[in-house]
Structure 1
């Protein structure tokens, strides 16, 4: 998986890498290999999990999960299976900044099968069942999808270019590119994003090249998901990782949504966006940087669109210090519109982002019409416990534009601009306990201290402050 932003440098060397290792006195010389993340949230799709190392592990040392991977059914036929059970309890005060509390539980089960016929043909399928229980507010669409196909595609090798294989993928698939600021499977969601379409890719030791043309697949609670023919998402992505410790991206994204959407009197769709962006990130001697920017052109409703976004972050990791701290400072910006009645639109369209990761765990802020000054601190009290502290200060880019949430929905708006631009401050505390090599418990406490803008735009059924408690258990196989 490409490295996202705000990346920590975890401790290495001899130690106990899970709670079970500690109880059993199983001291390891280095972190154990796995195709899954040692964290409750696995960002990359399971079809990108790398289990090739299993081939070099003696059979007598395989874990129960490793015995499900790289099964040689014949000389050319290879099978891997696996999945995940995930449950999240949520307690929200002033949920979605409404004057209402929301206490509920989300759960999902995923199961996949991955067939390889040599290197020339691959068939991958993944089932998902996701549901919500005891909610007091209506669940958001990604919360509920009772039995569906998350992924079902075929990879066909077309040949080789520059010594690397070129593949075409057709079918339903998750998409993940670069920092995930623009394109993500949405790992936090109970049901992740899917797209129907085609992707051609060549991934090599120095460069990766991807091209895709898809239709977005919105989740349906009790019906079989089908692609929305009104939403086309396509693009080109190039990544250069030829220099150790450095990564460069250049990308073009095309998003055409022909549906009609109006929020708080603002015409949000139909729209057609062309986004051109680049990113440079790296790590040298524990000093890290992450710089990304994009310009956007097209049409929003009946207006010409010119917009942009940018982010700059610098970090320092000290893996050999006590608790192995990693510290980051970031500034994030996405343009807004100072005159919604003019013939030009300037509100950045965030595409399909991992907003939960970048703009706070409350999911109240999206990458649209926003400034965000944020700081992050990772700590490792031991090798199986991750502590992540965040602070965000939010203020609007344009006072007359709306405030948009993590899903890009406008939910507060003062067209006069009299409410100002001070949205507020958010703090987030995340604790992940790695129980075994394939299971975790995550606890997160999050609070938004509303600023003058939220206070001024709140009606009798709304509030300016909010807090949330999340408790997650996951087991993978």
Structure 2
């Protein structure tokens, strides 16, 4: 297999003075802010609070048992491998789910074999077909503890090569059947198949140096419409990076990561690996990160990867994405996210005042609270954007809020959420101000419907969700959305952030429509899941006027196998 062009030299050969003048100032401020926040976190971390549990939504995280306290090192070993790698547990997303606990059958295979467990089993993967956390964050450290439950693929995991080296392999395969009517707001029906294969190798020298490589092959068959950019990527690298340990600071290690890497932060409203699509999302660049029991702190500079179906992907040299992200975990079940992000887009695609095309730079300042208390569930996130969009000043914002309740002890472990999401829009393209929110690199489907017709831009979304576990191995989720344009002169934007439909006069109104989404997941065993889903978008006045006769629906069946 031909290998891509070297990654590390591409990242490291850009001197600080080579950054465009308009981002050099914000970048220096970002570095100063990183130092200040790092000092503050250093002080706070002196008195660590309890670590939050890993009971979060199956779409984003692994089973709680996988994050258990590492065991003591094996007898005779000179290096304690029970803490390598220093896994980052994914943050709770919005509408998070608290998984079942207590005695029961936790997979369909448990039912077949009559294996009733006293508690959820230790497992590196979430009991769900969609899992957004990267492969390099999957936690197999439980294998350092004697007495763990053996598995067929153990021989390729955590292979100790002497006392100082560790090698591990893994991967996944999925197949999905999709049946769409009125696909992409056209009058076309589409029935097609998606296949994705991934394979990774992970090599460590103690906890000082890591090299991680992950192969990806994504293909589509039988589509009536041209495959989307996220459907096909043949024979490529999803991740290819090196980690170098910088130091131990207070209660945790600090690392520098260089190369191609997936990013996932917070609620995933702004930065996600986007596991729903066939290709996943990845970047290339540099990230420094520090992990402690109560604080995580990241600073990064990357460029998005451009998917090139029949050749190796390369990074987009016309986009720079850099930021600072901190997560504080003050007590069990609660978290606080704080972040500053900048996207410098020099592709000359920003349509400004009087139809002038230009570049843009968007700064996003935000924060988030999420947690559960006495069976009450809550989340609140606010995001404000400023910067320049061609010849216009940016002033935009978004708010995501939700309250829920966990009916603990009730049959089927029910949980319910009521939510309101808002992202601003623009009503005048010639007033010198850009008010449309930029959703950056989100996991939009999870929040705004799986049909993909609505993105976090120029939208009001009043929504509700119910989660049930008919059995510990079965998960049912139902969602309802009512969508309105935030500004009826602006576009309707899809899940990818592309402008799709608009009535510049505003006479079509703002009522986009109502969407229902149903998903049912069967956890077959620790390696296999089956997901069945159906979604329907009922057209409102705006859709009826701008896309007559269109009322799309989606049915899908997915099989996922991980090893």
TM-score per shorter chain, which class?
Answer: over 0.9
Return the alpha-carbon distance in structure 1 between the equivalents of residues 251 and 125 of structure 2: 28
Question: Which residue matches 1:415?
Answer: 504
2:169–2:199 contact (8 Å) kept in structure 1: yes
Return the alpha-carbon distance in structure 2 between the equivalents of residues 56 and 267 of structure 1: 63
2:192–2:223 contact (8 Å) kept in structure 1: yes
Return the alpha-carbon distance in structure 1 between the equivalents of residues 146 and 459 of structure 2: 49
Of the three residues 222, 228, 232, the one matched with 2:310 is 222
Question: Which residue matches 2:551?
Answer: 465
1:89–1:472 contact (8 Å) kept in structure 2: yes
Q: RMSD value over aligned CA atoms? A: 1.6
Q: 1:206 to 1:64 in 2, by over 3 A?
A: same
Of the three residues 257, 261, 273, the one matched with 1:173 is 261
Question: Which residue matches 1:81?
Answer: 169
Q: 1:268 to 1:326 in 2, by over 3 A?
A: farther
Question: Which residue matches 1:452?
Answer: 541
Question: Which residue matches 1:249?
Answer: 337
Return the alpha-carbon distance in structure 2 between the equivalents of residues 270 and 392 of structure 1: 34
Structure whose residues are more often helix by fraction: 2
1:104–1:133 contact (8 Å) kept in structure 2: yes
Return the alpha-carbon distance in structure 2 between the equivalents of residues 146 and 24 of structure 1: 39
1:2-401 correspondence to structure 2 within 5 Å? 2-58=91-147, 61-261=149-349, 270-401=359-490
SS in 2 for 1:143: coil
Structure 1 residue 435 corresponds to structure 2 residue 528 = no
2:521–2:532 contact (8 Å) kept in structure 1: yes
Q: 1:269 to 1:433 in 2, by over 3 A?
A: farther
SS in 2 for 1:141: coil
Question: Which residue matches 2:19?
Answer: none
With 103-112 and 159-168 compared, the bigger mean Cα shift is at 159-168
TM-score under structure 2 length normalisation: 0.82
Structure whose residues are more often strand by fraction: 1
TM-score under structure 1 length normalisation: 0.97
Question: Which residue matches 2:67?
Answer: none
* CA displacement, residues 141-184 of structure 1 (integer Å, 9 cap, x when unaligned): 11100010000000000112223211000000000011101100
Return the alpha-carbon distance in structure 2 between the equivalents of residues 19 and 303 of structure 1: 56
Q: 1:394 to 1:162 in 2, by over 3 A?
A: same
Return the alpha-carbon distance in structure 2 between the equivalents of residues 432 and 403 of structure 1: 31
Return the alpha-carbon distance in structure 1 between the equivalents of residues 254 and 97 of structure 2: 32
SS in 2 for 1:53: helix
Unaligned runs of 5+ in 2: 1-89
With 344-353 and 32-41 compared, the bigger mean Cα shift is at 32-41
* Equivalent residues, number: 473
1:201–1:211 contact (8 Å) kept in structure 2: yes
